[in-house]
Amino acid sequence: MQFDHDLQSIQEVRDIIRRAKTAQKQIAEYSQPQIDGIIKAIAEDCAANAERLAKMAVQETGFGVWQDKVLKNMLGSKMTYAYCKDMKTVGIISEDPAAGIFEVAVPMGIIAALIPSTNPTSTTMYKAIISLKAGNAVVFSPHPGAKECILETVRIIQAAAAKAGAPEHIVQSISLTTMEATSTLMRHPDIGLILATGGEAMVHAAYSSGNPAIGVGPGNGPAFIERSANIPLAVSRIFDSKTFDNGTICSSEQSIVTESCIKDKVVAEVRAQGGYFLSPEESERLGKLLLRANGTMNPQIVGKSAGTLADMAGIPVSPGTRVLVSEQTTVSCKNPYSREKLCPILAFYTEDGWESACLRCIEILNNEGIGHTMTIHSENDAVIREFALKKPISRLLVNTPAALGGVGATTALAPALTLGCGAVGGSATSDNVTPLNLINIRRIAQGVRELADLRGQGEAVAAPPQQETAGITKAEIAAITKAVMEKLNIH
């Protein structure tokens, strides 16, 4: 009997989860050194294949720059391993003898790892390492547009894990990619946690699945250039970030916001470093390419160079153009320049002072990307502190390229390709997600006081130390206190 493709994909998921459940029970018995040996082997083999997988990803998806994807692959493998290799994630992970408490790491079970097309190979490496480090099995759901490079990455991970002694089927992937398969994976009762990195609709589906989930929605981070900033360096950092892998990292800058007193200097520097300011007519023409009729980002623009985007819109630009810049005065869901643009396009806003710029940045974030990331370029600690206190974000990056700073490459943040957006962004965490987000903690607490001690404390608090107070004896006060406690049903 020949089954329909969607039915076959559903059955594949059920079979995968059954095998993953068995494998996870086995790895749950492994020691910390055994686990660490497995993730080390995975990181090393992924790093050894970083260039080949980067080229595969660009060829298959048409997104980004393979040289930059090599760096992403190194972040998803060796940098992730280096950050988490000394973490305690197995057995007893902390003890406080004085308090009579110790903590035990408990794996979540099976991690459902949804992989986007923008960072396909690096995200697969990263999620495999953090999942196994926490003692979990992992099942990947590849984006259909990046299926082959993801599956090849999974094969490398599987071989490395097996070589290091991991249980068979501890790492698996859906090969029949359908919406029904992904939905079955996310809703399966044996899934411990969903790690959802991708589009807003997919993240919403993960949170609606009935299983625990950590999801990451869109970024839309503004970059504020404050008057005290080193302007050439600030523009250089923003352009390095926005052109890195052609803007496919969600923490990358989407707008420049600056002050009117330095606008001319910033504009001159933007032009000097390869920025092309679009005319109003050109902005309108390009803007029609950025969003689809349903208000979502047009996938045809994702990961394309500035020159390619200009050609698509029929805008003549010089060969050295790195970023297309559109001067804007409004923010709305219908203004494509105030939305997330995973390509080298920036909006440009001018405000009278940092207070007004602060409000503009909040407006941009509330429009899209709330809870995610933004950047400030400034040498004024007071202004930086004010931005830190007021912005509805999980990461404020200071004097660094946002694309690389947000994922922990140019900052001391945890290396991560899943960046939590906090409660304000509809996410379960505001962390750069690490293995510690993929374990539960069982707390063992010894008794340190008895009920009689608690009652005695209550009476001691209620009864003043004086023998007599306003003619009432200590014994009378104790009797009144006891009567009141009984009346209030306090025992």
Give the mean model confidence (pLDDT) for residues 200-206. 84
Render pLDDT for 314-338 as a digit per residue (tens, 0 to 9). 999 999 999 999 999 999 999 999 9
Per-residue confidence (pLDDT) for residue 481, from 0 to 100: 58
Statement: residue 483 has pLDDT above 80: no
Q: 236, 390 in Cβ contact below 8 A?
A: no
Render pLDDT for 354-363 as a digit per residue (tens, 0 to 9). 999 999 999 9
Domain 221-412: give its CATH superfamily: Aldehyde Dehydrogenase; Chain A, domain 2 (3.40.309.10)
Token pair 């995200």 is at which residue?
123
Q: 122, 94 in Cβ contact below 8 A?
A: no
- Decide: helix, strand or coil at residue 268: helix
457 band by pLDDT with thresholds 50, 70 and 90: confident
Per-residue confidence (pLDDT) for residue 114, from 0 to 100: 96
Q: 230, 443 in Cβ contact below 8 A?
A: no
Per-residue confidence (pLDDT) for residue 197, from 0 to 100: 84
Q: 262, 357 in Cβ contact below 8 A?
A: no
Lowest-pLDDT range of 349-353, 406-410, 459-463: 459-463
Per-residue confidence (pLDDT) for residue 363, from 0 to 100: 98
Q: 344, 273 in Cβ contact below 8 A?
A: no
**Whole-number Å distance between alpha carbons of 36 and 227:** 47
Per-residue confidence (pLDDT) for residue 490, from 0 to 100: 52
Q: 207 vs 476, which has greater pLDDT?
A: 207
The partner residues of 445 in beta bridges, in order of sequence, read 101
Statement: residue 482 has pLDDT above 90: no
Give the mean model confidence (pLDDT) for residues 140-154. 97
201 band by pLDDT with thresholds 50, 70 and 90: confident
**Whole-number Å distance between alpha carbons of 475 and 292:** 80
* CATH 3.40.109.10 assigned to 5-217+434-442: no
What's the residue count for the chain? 491
> Which residues in the chain are classed under CATH 3.40.605.10?
5-217+434-442
**By C-alpha distance, which of 426, 49, 11, 8 is closest to 216?**
426
The 3-state secondary structure of 273-295 reads CCEEECCHHHHHHHHHHHECCCC
108 band by pLDDT with thresholds 50, 70 and 90: very high
106 band by pLDDT with thresholds 50, 70 and 90: very high
Portion of the chain with pLDDT greater than 90, in percent: 86
Give the neighbor-by-neighbor strand order of the sheet with 137-142: 171-173, 137-142, 110-115, 191-197, 213-216
Give the mean model confidence (pLDDT) for residues 260-275. 98
> In the structure encoding, which two tokens stand for residue 190, read together?
């044996």
Is 261 in the active site?
A: no
39 band by pLDDT with thresholds 50, 70 and 90: very high
**Whole-number Å distance between alpha carbons of 128 and 77:** 9
For the ranges 1-5, 430-434, 449-453, the one whose mean pLDDT is highest: 430-434
- Given the residues 149, 250, 343, 421, select the one marked as catalytic: 250
Statement: residue 97 has pLDDT above 60: yes
> Which residues in the chain are classed under CATH 3.40.309.10?
221-412
Per-residue confidence (pLDDT) for residue 198, from 0 to 100: 77
- Decide: helix, strand or coil at residue 353: coil
Statement: residue 487 has pLDDT above 70: no
One-letter amino acid at 413 equals L
Q: Which residues contact 464 (CB under 8 A, 6 or more apart)?
A: 477
Give the mean model confidence (pLDDT) for residues 438-465. 81
**Whole-number Å distance between alpha carbons of 122 and 407:** 12
Per-residue confidence (pLDDT) for residue 472, from 0 to 100: 63
**Whole-number Å distance between alpha carbons of 143 and 150:** 8
Q: 149, 57 in Cβ contact below 8 A?
A: yes
Render pLDDT for 232-254 as a digit per residue (tens, 0 to 9). 999 999 999 999 999 999 999 99
Per-residue confidence (pLDDT) for residue 450, from 0 to 100: 92
β-pair type (373-377, 395-398): parallel
Q: Which residues contact 1 (CB under 8 A, 6 or more apart)?
A: none
Per-residue confidence (pLDDT) for residue 458, from 0 to 100: 62
pTM of the model: 0.90
**By C-alpha distance, which of 366, 413, 429 is closest to 392?**
366
